[in-house]
Structure 1
């Protein structure tokens, strides 16, 4: 893979990410809801992947595989988040940001939320677009990556479904989900998400340019484990759900571990 190939893939991903966040912001203005970006988050990666694949298709090997995995993960996540958010009101994180904006609130939201998420989207997707420019074969590292991706995807989907069913039961209002995957980690969806991106990185790492993108899954893992609204969400849950503080004390915050007694 030449330097020109690498720069071309990186630039194309940046253009696709920029188009996604601009489109999301326009929809947000129409809907008057800034949490629209959350619904676009997973789909943005799918758009980047499809754009990169169509720009230079490389056959049925790693290029097609990494594109399919990214689109599968991204579209599923976007649909899940949209279905979860559409019935509720604006996300409290964005409401608080708007409340702190003294002047030009729309511009501030675009720069602070949408451009920031677009930059993260672009950076995290670099393993995808570089894997798409590799030779067609799938080696042992790629098959390991597919296995890690599949484990993470299943973990994320199962965790989300367990939480959805728990919330759908009126008898669980105000209660804390402590069974299933949620018995071993407070955020099985986040842990599964991280595994998905480490799996994609392993596919990209078959060749040297892909190896250099290791900071992409590192950033995604850090955001999921330490950032991305997790501290704010846990503070809110501790204040609104009885027993959540005890759940935090007993249950791992990210990596699945046996609960403490």
Structure 2
């Protein structure tokens, strides 16, 4: 319990440097250098990257090494986009269509609330309970070199992804172009992505919880989740998450910023690689390997689709 409270306090304190610095140039005082404020006001994207570098990459990395647990970046994946959105919205150089900006704020908060809830629910509502299993595996692979390799593998790489996929938030607050039909399409895509991801993660959580209860009483557990959305996609939660980011990109494309495609594209490629890692991990588990291989053959990877007609196995459960 004490560790959870300590981690909660850390989580609330770590963004303060960025928040305080932002207010120092948005609302300059007599002690604030006017040249610094002017420079920050003229370079919103560069300042965002510098704040990320010092506050997230370096500070989170230092804390992660001190705690021997890089859990903070997982939690802040759900928070940083909200912070970036409000940074771009409140920046001195910001201009925006009121309706588009309001919709972007509402959608981003809804996305963040969903993902934060799922993260804390998955961790049993304990702050800093564990770090991402991929980081744990890399810790073992790199050994003594992990303390400095983690800066690149965990943090600098995350900066590329997060700043990249959040670029449409900057585009939204850099144009006064009136709301149009493509904005409506983008909104519908974002909402669909949030809803699909929510139901997929909820179904997965129920499946894992049910199996844990069965295991405790010595009953057979179900090898593979094949109900609900998981009947039509092996990773419907990933699909929903990608639909959200691509929907957000439509806002930028509509505003004449098609080059921002790089953000969701790189993120999708990264998630594709993660999908491969997850599935390799699943088939290495002896108790579910056979069932999961059949599941792979009959079920779409990401995009929900009708299942292939392959005979059911003779058994569905393991002990």
Higher relative contact order (CA 8 A, sep 6+): 1
Q: Which runs of 5+ in 1 are unaligned?
A: none
Name which of structure 1's ranges 184-193 and 215-224 shifts more when overlaid on structure 2. 215-224
Provide the alpha-carbon RMSD of the alignment. 2.5
Superposed CA deviations along residues 88-133 of structure 1, whole A, max 9, x for unmatched, are 6443322221222254422211122111111211111111111121
| Aligned position for 2:110 | 72
Please give the TM-score of this superposition, normalised by the length of structure 2. Answer: 0.72
Deviates more, 1:141-150 or 1:42-51: 42-51
1:42 partnered with 2:72: no
Cα distance 1:174–1:31, how it changes in 2: closer, same or farther (>3 A)? farther
Max Rg structure? 2
Q: Could you tell me which residue of structure 1 aligns to residue 283 of structure 2?
A: 238
What residue in structure 2 maps to residue 33 of structure 1?
69
- Higher mean alpha-carbon deviation, 211-220 vs 244-253, is at 211-220
Q: Does 1:63 align with 2:98?
A: no
Alignment-derived partner of residue 129 in structure 1: 170
1-structure distance, mates of 2:95, 2:113: 21
Q: In structure 2, which of residues 245, 248, 267 is the aligned counterpart of residue 220 of structure 1? A: 267
Question: Which of the residues 43, 46, 49 maps onto 1:8?
Answer: 43
How high is the TM-score relative to the length of structure 1?
0.86
Contact between 2:229 and 2:236, CA under 8 Å: does it hold in 1? yes
Cα gap change, 1:24/1:70 in structure 2, threshold over 3 Å: closer, same or farther?
A: farther
Provide the rounded CA distance (Å) in 2 between the counterparts of 1:187 and 1:119: 24
Aligned residues: 254
C-alpha contact (below 8 Å) 2:64/2:70 kept by paired residues: yes
The 5 Å alignment of 1:93-242 reads 93-135=134-176, 137-169=178-210, 170-171=213-214, 173-208=221-256, 210-224=257-271, 226-227=272-273, 229-240=274-285, 241-242=287-288
SS state at 1:212 partner: helix
Query: Whole-Å Cα distance in 1 between the matches of residues 77 and 121 of structure 2?
Result: 14
